[in-house]
Amino acid sequence: MTDSVFGWLFTILFAFIVAFISGWTAAHQEVATECARQGGFYVNDKDFDCSVRRIEGEVK
């Protein structure tokens, strides 16, 4: 019985970690896409403007 409980807990924990990483990646990709396309994005009633920052010494 203990083995099956730990197996289920491991499965649930693994699924949670995979779902969290997938959601985090999708959200960041969506923000990056909106910034590249439209120069900004919105969340509820707030609008955010995007800009590119250059790193000092960076060669383009």
Q: Where are the domains of the chain?
A: 2-49
Dist. CA 55–CA 38, nearest whole Å:
23
Residue 33 tokens read as: 């896409």
pTM over 0.75: no
Phi, psi (5° rounding) for residue 48? -120, 135
Total number of residues shown for the chain: 60
- At 57 the pLDDT is 74
Residue 41's SS3 state is strand
- At 20 the pLDDT is 98
- At 60 the pLDDT is 61
User: CA torsion sign, 26 to 32 to 38 to 40?
Assistant: positive
